[in-house]
Amino acid sequence: MAESTIWWVLAGGAIAVELLTGTFYLLMLSMGLMAGALAAHAGATLTVQLVVAAVVGGGFIVAWRARRLKAAPGLPAGANQDANLDVGETVQVDTWAADGTGTVKYRGANWSVSLVAGASPTPGAHRIVEVVGSRLVVRKL
């Protein structure tokens, strides 16, 4: 069996395991294995193939890790509109309790509401900014 074939089989195996486990780093390692296969096709020695595979695979992992560290952290799920479709919707708050909480009818059920920090409890339309358990955190429109 040719050396390049072994590299391609290893790359395919790494991709298959990545698809089963969802470990994105295996995809980066498979890129290194594919680079080793291309080096074998180019006629490089086994030592050069191993170095190319290690440098490319390791380089992709380091680059991906650096990119993830530079990215801003996402919103928590309760405040992320992509994860929670209630965020951004409006509710009508008629009365507020002395502790800054209230109750609203939303989606056919009664929900407890509280204000974002620093807001004053005034009746009227409010926008949902976060869902914490069964409590809606709202901001005045």
Distance, in Å, from the CA atom of 134 to the CA atom of 125, rounded to the nearest integer, reads 19
Q: Is 105 helix (H, G, I), strand (E, B) or coil?
A: strand
> What pLDDT score was predicted for residue 30?
96
- The structural domain count of the chain equals 2
What is the residue range of 110's domain?
A: 90-140
Check: pTM over 0.85? Answer yes or no: no
Same domain as 107, residue 52: no
Same domain as 96, residue 66: no
> What pLDDT score was predicted for residue 98?
83
Q: What is the pLDDT along the chain (141 residues), one digit of tens a residue?
A: 889 999 999 999 999 999 999 888 899 999 999 999 999 999 999 999 999 999 999 999 999 999 888 887 777 777 777 777 888 888 988 888 888 888 898 888 888 999 888 888 888 899 998 888 888 899 888
Please check whether residue 76 lies inside any domain of the structure: no
Nearest to 136 by CA among 103, 98, 94, 99: 103
Please check whether residue 75 lies inside any domain of the structure: no
Residue at a domain's end among 70, 104, 125? 70
CATH of the domain at 131: 2.40.50.140
Contacts of 136 (CB under 8 A, 6+ apart): 86, 91, 104, 106, 111, 112, 113, 114, 128, 130
